[in-house]
């Protein structure tokens, strides 16, 4: 792990390999550290860069603002000389990836959106709304960890039954739940409504969207962390 200091703020990041830069932006609940382990083999023929967004891991406190998260990603890419990069956004990380591609197209050579969760407020399903409300209530009466666990068990559930959270090794579950504060800070940031959907057609790089077909459904797309 390395750290980048930005005007008194800190971003923890991991980089490995050489070649085309690939910058990975994690979603709500997961962290850069976990993804660095999961997708490390990509560094065999790419320069893989993964970081903890503010509010997660060893990075500074969350700004509760997706625009600020976008600016963090811009600063990281520029500081590491990683432009133009393939930008990978997972779940709510797609908000940052899309925003960055629109505001700084010079930094992006391609977009990959993994199970993207974008502008959800206008198209939430009843199940998602109930789970989010229950998570917030549990947070108030039982603490952030309890609320986060309830929410993560739902978003990691399968349409066929069961949840990936319960199947995960105990150490991985613990690392996920260590991000409980970051999860609720991301909720407070909104759903990416600041990104004008009418502008998405202006993105002039290849875009690949990968849908996790067994995840809980929202708006005809899938939502996961």
- Each residue's pLDDT tens digit, 145-195: 999 999 999 989 998 899 999 999 999 999 999 999 999 999 999 889 899
How many domains is the chain built from? Answer: 1
Domain with residue 10: its CATH number is 3.40.50.1820
Mean pLDDT of 101-127: 88
- Each residue's pLDDT tens digit, 105-116: 999 999 999 988
Query: Can you give the pTM of this predicted structure?
Result: 0.92
Q: What is the C-alpha to C-alpha distance for residues 26 and 90, in angstroms, rounded to an integer?
A: 5
Task: Tell me which DSSP letter residue 4 carries.
Answer: E
Residue 225 has pLDDT above 70, yes or no: no
Give the up-direction half-sphere exposure of residue 158: CA atoms within 13 A in the CB hemisphere: 8
- Tokens read off for 171: 């150490």
- Each residue's pLDDT tens digit, 44-86: 999 999 999 999 999 999 999 999 999 999 999 999 999 999 9
- Please list, residue by residue across 123-137, b when 16 or more beta carbons sit within 10 angstroms of its beta carbon and e when fewer do: eeeeebeebbeebee
Mean pLDDT of 134-141: 96
Q: Domain range for residue 81?
A: 1-225
| pLDDT value for 218 | 56
What is the phi-psi region of residue 177: left when phi exceeds 0, alpha when psi lies from -120 to 50, beta otherwise? alpha
- Please list, residue by residue across 83-105, b when 16 or more beta carbons sit within 10 angstroms of its beta carbon and e when fewer do: ebbbbbbbbbbbbbbbbbbbebe
């Amino acid at each position: 792990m390395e750290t980048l200091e930005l005007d008194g703020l800190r971003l923890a990041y991991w980089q490995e390999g050489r070649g085309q830069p690939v910058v990975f932006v994690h979603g709500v609940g997961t962290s850069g550290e976990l993804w660095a382990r999961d997708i490390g083999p990509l560094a065999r023929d790419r320069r893989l860069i993964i970081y903890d967004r503010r509010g997660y891991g060893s990075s500074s406190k969350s700004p509760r603002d997706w625009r600020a998260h976008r600016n963090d990603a811009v600063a990281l890419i520029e500081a590491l000389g990683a432009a133009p990069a393939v930008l990978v956004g997972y779940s709510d990380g797609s908000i940052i990836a899309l925003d960055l591609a629109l505001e700084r197209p010079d930094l992006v050579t391609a977009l990959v959106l993994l199970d993207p969760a974008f502008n959800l407020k206008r198209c939430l399903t009843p199940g998602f709304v109930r789970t989010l409300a229950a998570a917030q209530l549990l947070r108030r009466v039982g603490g952030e960890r309890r609320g986060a666990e309830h929410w993560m068990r739902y978003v990691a559930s399968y349409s066929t039954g069961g949840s990936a959270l319960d199947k995960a090794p105990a150490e991985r579950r613990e690392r996920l739940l260590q991000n409980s504060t970051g999860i609720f800070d991301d909720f407070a940031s909104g759903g990416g409504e600041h990104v004008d959907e009418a502008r998405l057609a202006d993105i002039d790089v290849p875009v690949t969207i990968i849908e996790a077909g067994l995840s809980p459904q929202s708006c005809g797309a899938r939502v996961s962390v």
